[in-house]
Amino acid sequence: MYGKGLLTGLGITLREFFRKKATERYPEVRPKLTERFRGGKLALEPEKCIACGLCSLNCPNGSIRLVTVKDEAGKRKLSEYEYDAGACMYCNLCIENCPQKCIRWDKKFDFAGYDRKHLIIDCIAVANAKKAAEREGGAETHE
């Protein structure tokens, strides 16, 4: 029949027009990330960390640098904790090997920098800033 192809095409267009949309209006609408999503930066809970260094030891890319000191009681504690997102391959080994479960992904995947050094995160400073923002009631969350 003459025009059959045209009608078939229009039929497909109409069907797709009314079908539920698969695309999202990012960045206005943030995507719903799954529990197992790996992305963004490592978020540390410094108060839970026992400064064992297992996260750093298990990182195949050397993306985690931590410095420990001993307190008055001779107990090891964190003094610096840096995560290099530019060197991370999101293998999750650091998180899986943390005995305290005190590191996780912040899931804020859309970050960037003009220089590689902007991808190096001071996790203790970020955790302290987040706590201060929560105290003031203005914490930013994208999860």
Which residues of this chain interact with ligand SF4, rule CB under 6 A? 49-55, 58-61, 63-64, 88-94, 98-100, 102-103
Pick from 75, 90, 80: nearest CA to 44: 80
Query: Measured at the alpha carbon of residue 79, what is the angle toward residues 76 and 85, in degrees to the nearest 5?
Result: 120
Q: Which is nearer to ligand SF4, 9 or 118 (CB)?
A: 118
Output the smallest distance, CB 100 to ligand SF4, in A.
Answer: 4
Q: Which is nearer to ligand SF4, 31 or 99 (CB)?
A: 99
Output the smallest distance, CB 114 to ligand SF4, in A.
Answer: 22
> Which structure tokens are listed for 90?
């999101």
One-letter amino acid at 92 equals: N
- Could you give the CA distance from residue 13 to residue 16 in angstroms, rounded to a whole number? 5
Output the smallest distance, CB 18 to ligand SF4, in A.
Answer: 42
- Could you give the CA distance from residue 103 to residue 45 in angstroms, rounded to a whole number? 6
Output the smallest distance, CB 86 to ligand SF4, in A.
Answer: 10
> Cβ contacts of residue 70 below 8 Å, gap of 6+?
76, 77
Q: Which is nearer to ligand SF4, 74 or 137 (CB)?
A: 74
Output the smallest distance, CB 79 to ligand SF4, in A.
Answer: 12
Q: How many residues does the chain have?
A: 143
Q: Which is nearer to ligand SF4, 30 or 86 (CB)?
A: 86
Q: Which is nearer to ligand SF4, 24 or 80 (CB)?
A: 80
